[in-house]
Structure formats: C-alpha cells, structure tokens
Amino acid sequence: MPGNPHDPLWYPDSGASHHLTAQSNNLSTKTPYTGSEKVFIGNGSRLPIHSIGTATYTDLSTHNTFSLTNLLHVPSISKNLLSVSRFSRDNCVFF
C-alpha cells in the first residue's frame, strides 16, 4: 500500500489458492491480467489483479530451487502470501 514500507518476507497461507505479491519485481515472468476476477481477502475486500507470472527461488543453504507458478501481482495486498497447497504441489514438497 502507498506509504507503507514493503515487507520482503513470504508468509505461508494454508487458505490461499494462489501466491500473492504487491511487488511486480517479485515476478520473473509476467503477463498483464485482463480478466475481471479479483482476489477476495479475509475482511471481505476485493482486490484487483494486475498481472500473473512466475518466480523461482534458490535456497542458499541447500541450493534447491523452488518455483512459484500462477503468482498474482496484487499491488494493494499488504503481505506476500505463499499458497501452501500450490507450493507443495508444484515443488513436490510438504510442510
């Protein structure tokens, strides 16, 4: 949100259907979103999706690379959310 410092951490969310980020630079690849769907959050608000993309992250201690697919760029979200189910499925891991 404007005026708020960006929190660079990712927060696992077992209720999230997609990964969400406010920062477009978190996406390695991105495509503008032209649909009409919005992200519903816990307080009932609907937030617009600006783009959809992917990202990869490498764990520096193990050198394992993890993928975030269908990552939604939602500029008005306050935290980066990691969908536990999507991350687990896409990377063949469990929490």
Please write the tens of the pLDDT for every residue from 73-93.
Answer: 999 999 999 999 999 999 999
Residue-range definition of the domain harbouring residue 35: 19-91
* Residue 1 lies inside a defined structural domain of this protein: no
Through-space distance between the first and last CA atoms of the chain, rounded to whole angstroms:
29
Number of domains in the chain: 1
Cα–Cα distance for residue pair 82/80, rounded to 1 Å: 7
* Residue 57 lies inside a defined structural domain of this protein: yes
pTM over 0.75: yes
Model pLDDT for residues 51-63, shown as the tens digit of each residue: 999 999 898 999 9
Q: Is the pLDDT of residue 32 over 90?
A: yes
Q: Does residue 13 have an active-site annotation?
A: yes
Catalytic residue among 7, 13, 59, 90: 13
* Residue 59 lies inside a defined structural domain of this protein: yes
* Residue 10 lies inside a defined structural domain of this protein: no
Of residues 59 and 33, which shows the higher confidence score?
33
Cα–Cα distance for residue pair 55/66, rounded to 1 Å: 8
* Residue 11 lies inside a defined structural domain of this protein: no
Q: Is the pLDDT of residue 3 over 50?
A: no
